[in-house]
Amino acid sequence: MTVAFLYPGQGSQRPGMLHTLPASPAITATLDEAAGILSRIGATDLDALDTSEVLHATTNTQLALVIAGVAAARSLTQDYGARPDFVAGHSVGAFPAAVTAGVLSFDEALEVVHLRGELMQRVCAGGGWGMGAALGLGVRDVRTLAQQVSTTDDALWIANINAPDQIVLSGTVVALQRAESAASCLGARRWQRLDLAVASHCPLQEPVAARLAEYLAGVPRRPQQVAYLSNLRGRRIRGNGEAVLDDLAWSVAHPVQWYDVMSVIGELGATHAIQMPPGQVLARLLPDAAPATRPIALDGSGFGRVVQAYRR
């Protein structure tokens, strides 16, 4: 049996995502640890972090996703004895994946993600930025769409390739509005604006990536304890933690190659892929790329049931 742990990114958050986690020993200890770290780094208090209003801020959303991912993975490994063979995270989900892989400490992950969120908000300060998904168009058509609607002042870039016909774009609100109008002409099944006030995984974030690389240069290099799959490269990263830390820094300025990640999960022979909370979107995306891998989402399935399912 070969198991992958999957960690969702921004867009999967929901109010109460931390307060509704099971009160297992590992989760309780992780939340207590997180509360202390958040206080030390001057972030939002844990009790308020997953409230609806607070989650509107990119920094808070990213911190909440890291905490949920680490807490859930620790519960599976410490409370239930589960062991992953691979880890992969979508966007900011790469940071809790790196914690499970042993490359980052929980403390380091929250510190760098707090910095990441603050810098991303600063780059997109004043509004006018966002993201949208083109459903039913391939990469070539979406690239054409982005080129058609982009101008010097209003640019649009491919940000996530989640499936061959599910591609997310980042850019200005004006460019996104143009794309919505033009997408149907190219044969899009649907256009969906995402509830995000930042433009992620695009050249706009290159200054953020450079600053993250500076910060992560001071993090100790640790060997991977679990194989880490890169959402930037769409493949497994081998060797010590240096390549993983570089990946964590620069992924914010480059598209998420999630379909390639899922294909690699299948190629590596994963029998099960377990999505950490919140949501089920990664589990739902998996079958097209890795039909032989069984997807399971902790949200909706429960921790005990998940462990029982993949032990069969």
Catalytic residues: 91, 201
Structure tokens at 261: 């990640």
Pairwise CA distance, residues 264 & 135, whole Å: 23
Pairwise CA distance, residues 157 & 271, whole Å: 34
Number of residues assigned to the chain: 312
Pairwise CA distance, residues 191 & 214, whole Å: 37
Burial (Cβ within 10 Å: 0-12, 13-18, ≥19) of residue 35: middle
Pairwise CA distance, residues 186 & 289, whole Å: 24
Cα–chain center distance at 184: 28
Phi, psi angles (nearest 5°) of residue 7: -125, 120
Structure tokens at 213: 């690389």
**Is-contact 67 30, C-beta < 8 A?**
yes
Burial (Cβ within 10 Å: 0-12, 13-18, ≥19) of residue 215: middle
**Is-contact 135 188, C-beta < 8 A?**
yes
Cis ω on the peptide bond leading into residue 278 (within 30° of 0)? Answer: yes
β-partners of residue 236 are 229
